[in-house]
């Protein structure tokens, strides 16, 4: 889970709009991590074990790291959500449906039998820069800057 909180003494921001924009941008960045197979923190994504990669290639035509065999709402990419907690707080999370929150945790930790961690959920320096660009564009559209 990633939480964003803002000091409530900052009065010139429209918190609902800005925090919602941040949460949606973070969600989108995490979804892109899953699609493009990148880690949030710049660490290497552990490869599939050779036997599993061979099976995926034979059945799917690709060695997709994330969501290869899963369909529809069962895909990890379709389980990333945002939730407004208060005017000053949003939550970005993976739903418990289809055991996806546990699956994401398992991938993040990279425990055996995985070949290593596949940290797609989170936001690091590069992700924060991507999110900042999205917010900057949103503010330009809203305030004409």
Determine the pLDDT at residue 71.
87
**pLDDT by residue (tens digit) across 113-126?**
888 889 888 888 88
Number of domains in the chain: 1
**pLDDT by residue (tens digit) across 65-124?**
888 888 888 999 999 999 999 877 889 999 999 999 999 998 988 888 888 889 888 888
**Residue 145 — pLDDT band, cuts 50, 70, 90?**
low
Say if 100 falls within a structural domain. Answer: yes
Say if 73 falls within a structural domain. Answer: yes
Say if 5 falls within a structural domain. Answer: no
Are the C-beta atoms of residues 27 and 92 closer than 8 Å to each other? yes
Say if 1 falls within a structural domain. Answer: no
Are the C-beta atoms of residues 82 and 23 closer than 8 Å to each other? yes
Determine the pLDDT at residue 77.
93
**pLDDT by residue (tens digit) across 10-65?**
444 454 457 888 888 889 999 999 998 888 888 888 888 898 889 989 988 888 88
Determine the pLDDT at residue 141.
67
Say if 3 falls within a structural domain. Answer: no
For residues 54 and 43, give the distance between their C-alpha atoms in angstroms, rounded to a whole number.
24
Asked whether residue 8 carries a pLDDT value surpassing 80, the answer given is no
Say if 4 falls within a structural domain. Answer: no
Note the residue count of the chain: 145
**Could you tell me the residue range of the domain that residue 132 belongs to?**
13-143
Q: Which two tokens stand for residue 103?
A: 């699956």
Find, among 15, 55, 29, the residue nearest to 122 by Cα: 29
Q: pTM for the complete prediction?
A: 0.78
Q: Which residues of 83-109 are buried (b: 16+ CB within 10 A; e: fewer)?
A: eeeeeeebebbbeeebebbebbeebbe
């Amino acid at each position: 889970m990633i939480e964003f909180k803002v000091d409530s003494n900052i009065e010139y921001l429209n918190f609902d709009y800005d925090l919602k924009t941040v949460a949606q941008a973070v969600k989108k960045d995490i979804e892109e991590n899953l699609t493009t197979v990148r880690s949030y923190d710049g660490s290497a994504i552990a490869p599939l074990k050779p036997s599993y990669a061979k099976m995926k290639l034979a059945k799917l035509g690709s060695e997709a790291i994330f969501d290869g065999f899963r369909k529809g709402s069962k895909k990890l990419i379709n389980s990333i959500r945002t939730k407004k907690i208060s005017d000053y707080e949003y939550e970005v999370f993976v739903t418990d449906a289809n055991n996806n929150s546990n699956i994401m945790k398992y991938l993040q930790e990279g425990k055996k039998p995985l070949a290593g961690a596949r940290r797609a959920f989170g936001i690091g320096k590069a992700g924060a820069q991507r999110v900042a660009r999205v917010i900057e564009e949103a503010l330009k559209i809203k305030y004409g800057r």
